[in-house]
């Protein structure tokens, strides 16, 4: 039933950043007025077309209902088309005064959404948007040749390996390797060149290894308890918060 | 001759206008905002791998199904991106351009579909509807047609095929022909491909019927 809630399409959307602006639905809020007018007009004047569009709306929801337990716009995209039909019908024969008022409201609505999209949206869900993977790739490229191995944590965001492969422009020919054992996709893709992502069981302390971890991990990961280290580099997100620390291990004997 | 062109342009003025707006909003800052999502990056790099070595990231020769962190992926997305990687190089724009192109084509398809429905009511509906269809994508240019959700390719194939079918069904004697050919139109490539593209989205129904926990069918190899 949540698919029949107009908020999903006109107001708040489904909140998934992959499906658009997290605070807005796919259609502008202002279009809700012609939508209800269109529904009313269709119901009164064009019952056959109303039935047809109602059928399309219900039919469009069915795959989405079977696909995901929560409303998801990407899975119910077919519903947008009958809704737009109804809106168009609702905008028919508007008198001039209403039309001018509608255009003014439309401009205000557009301005609000644009302002939000430009000024606020980039700061929401920074982690999910993987805002810093490009910077991470740049820094890893700078440092990786100075170390035998580079360990990268998986704690910030999820699976940075595809972004690293892309931004570091890793040559596919050098990436492919012949594995004799059965493959685990995640482990396979999380290891290339001298870089190992996640797979914490392979992490050992060594002077010639570089560890790229989150500030929280520096305190919570037992591997780094009480060790001496040097921070080689840091990566911050849009809000200036530290998200990655590049740690070099300094064995006790080397201190002083 | 020139007059004929002028007439055609005037006749299709609204369509041209909408397509131009659509082109602007879909291509403006295409590679810059929003930042590239992980799965997009994987598609781009995999497409380059296919171009250079004919192998995917696991070293399989031109596979018909790809793997990813979140399950299996159908191949359309990668193979469709590969030519654009070849043209523009491996960058954000090249990865998103094909889906933006699909988005631009969708305006044309949707407009044709509307014309079909609203011809007898008045073309004003087609214009209003196309306008509403384009305006939201100003704000959601970061999704659907710009990147990520390749479910849209299924949608566009259906959009392409719908006006054609609507015209097809208007042909005299078509129902008899369909009966003789056992409804062969279901073997249409655009439709079956669109269904396949949509199937990429994992379904709860599929899980219920065919999975480890399924109470209906338990595959022996799981």
E-strand spans in chain A?
Answer: 149-152, 191-192, 195-197, 209-213, 228-236, 242-250
Report whether A212 contacts A140 (CB < 8 A): yes
**Residue A108 to residues A21, A88, A104, A111, A113: CA-CA distances in angstroms?**
17, 20, 6, 5, 9
**A173/B52 Cβ within 8 A:** yes
**B198/A18 Cβ within 8 A:** no
Q: Please give the average per-residue pLDDT across B71-91, as a whole number.
A: 86
Least confident of A176-185, A245-254, B44-53, B175-184: B175-184
**B133/A134 Cβ within 8 A:** no
Report whether B103 contacts B26 (CB < 8 A): yes
pLDDT at A43 over 80: yes
Higher pLDDT, B161 or A58: A58
Non-local CB neighbours of B31 within 8 Å, separated by 6+ positions? B91, B92, B93, B96
Report whether A249 contacts A207 (CB < 8 A): yes
Whether residue A123 lies within 8 A of chain B, CB to CB, comes out as: no
Q: Please give the average per-residue pLDDT across B160-187, as a whole number.
A: 62
Least confident of A113-122, A210-219, B5-14: B5-14
> Closest Cα to residue A243, out of A220, A223, A213?
A213
Per-residue tokens: A8 = 């999903």
Q: What is the ipTM of this complex?
A: 0.78
User: Tens digits of per-residue pLDDT, A113-153?
Assistant: 878 877 777 777 676 666 788 889 999 999 999 999 999 99
**Residue A72 to residues A8, A20, B218: CA-CA distances in angstroms?**
9, 11, 28
A192-221 residues touching B, CB cutoff 8 A: none
Gap from B55 CA to chain A (nearest CA, Å): 9
Least confident of A6-15, A150-159, B160-169, B178-187: B178-187
User: Tens digits of per-residue pLDDT, A44-90?
Assistant: 887 777 787 787 777 777 767 776 667 777 667 777 778 877 887 78
Residue of A nearest to B89 (CA): A169
Please report residues of A whose CB lies closer than 8 A to that of B58. 183, 185, 188
Pairing of strands A191-192, A195-197: antiparallel
Residue B184: CB atoms within 10 Å = 10
Higher pLDDT, A138 or A107: A138
Residue B204: pLDDT band (50, 70, 90) is very low
Dihedral of the CA atoms B172, B176, B177, B179 (nearest 10)?
150
Percent of chain A, pLDDT > 90?
A: 13
Please report residues of B whose CB lies closer than 8 A to that of A78. 155
Pairing of strands A242-250, A195-197: unpaired
């Amino acid at each position: 039933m949540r698919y029949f809630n107009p908020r999903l399409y006109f107001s708040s959307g489904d909140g998934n950043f992959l499906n658009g602006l997290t605070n807005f639905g796919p259609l502008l809020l202002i279009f809700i007025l012609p939508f209800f007018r269109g529904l009313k007009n269709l119901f009164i004047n064009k019952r056959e077309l109303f039935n047809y569009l109602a059928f399309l709306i219900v039919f469009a929801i069915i795959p989405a209902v079977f696909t995901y337990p929560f409303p998801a716009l990407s899975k119910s995209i077919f519903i947008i088309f009958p809704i737009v039909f109804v809106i168009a019908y609702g905008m028919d024969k508007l008198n001039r005064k209403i039309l001018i008022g509608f255009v003014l409201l439309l401009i205000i609505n557009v301005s609000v959404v644009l302002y939000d999209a430009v000024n606020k949206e980039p700061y929401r869900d920074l982690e999910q948007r993987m805002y810093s993977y490009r910077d991470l790739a740049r820094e890893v490229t700078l440092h990786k040749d100075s170390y035998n191995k580079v360990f990268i944590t998986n704690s910030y965001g999820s699976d940075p390996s595809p972004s690293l492969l892309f931004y570091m422009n890793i040559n596919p020919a050098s990436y492919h390797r012949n594995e004799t054992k059965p493959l685990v996709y995640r482990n396979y893709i999380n290891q290339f060149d001298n870089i190992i992502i996640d797979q914490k069981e392979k992490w050992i302390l060594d002077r010639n290894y570089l560890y790229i971890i989150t500030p929280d991990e520096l305190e919570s990961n037992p591997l780094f308890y009480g060790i001496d280290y040097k921070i080689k580099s840091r990566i911050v997100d849009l809000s200036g918060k530290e998200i990655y620390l590049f740690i070099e291990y300094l064995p006790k004997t080397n201190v002083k | 001759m020139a007059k004929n062109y002028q007439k055609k342009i005037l006749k299709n003025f609204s369509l041209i206008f909408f397509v131009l707006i659509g082109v602007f909003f879909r291509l403006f800052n295409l590679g810059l905002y929003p930042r590239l999502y992980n799965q997009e990056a994987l598609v781009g790099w995999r497409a380059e791998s296919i171009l250079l070595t004919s192998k995917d990231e696991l070293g399989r020769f031109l596979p018909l199904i790809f793997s990813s962190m979140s399950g299996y992926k159908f191949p359309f997305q990668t193979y469709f991106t590969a030519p654009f990687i070849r043209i523009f190089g491996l960058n954000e724009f090249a990865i998103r351009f094909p889906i933006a192109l699909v988005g631009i084509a969708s305006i044309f398809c949707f407009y044709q579909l509307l014309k079909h429905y609203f011809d007898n009511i008045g073309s004003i509906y087609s214009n209003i509807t196309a306008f509403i269809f384009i305006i939201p994508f100003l704000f959601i240019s970061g999704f659907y047609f710009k990147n990520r959700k390749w479910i849209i390719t299924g949608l566009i194939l259906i959009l392409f095929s719908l006006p054609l079918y609507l015209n097809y069904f208007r042909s005299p004697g078509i129902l008899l022909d369909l009966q003789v050919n056992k409804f062969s139109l279901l073997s249409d490539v655009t439709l079956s491909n669109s269904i396949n593209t949509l199937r990429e989205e994992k379904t709860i129904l599929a899980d219920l019927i065919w999975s480890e926990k399924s109470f209906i069918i338990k595959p022996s190899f799981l």
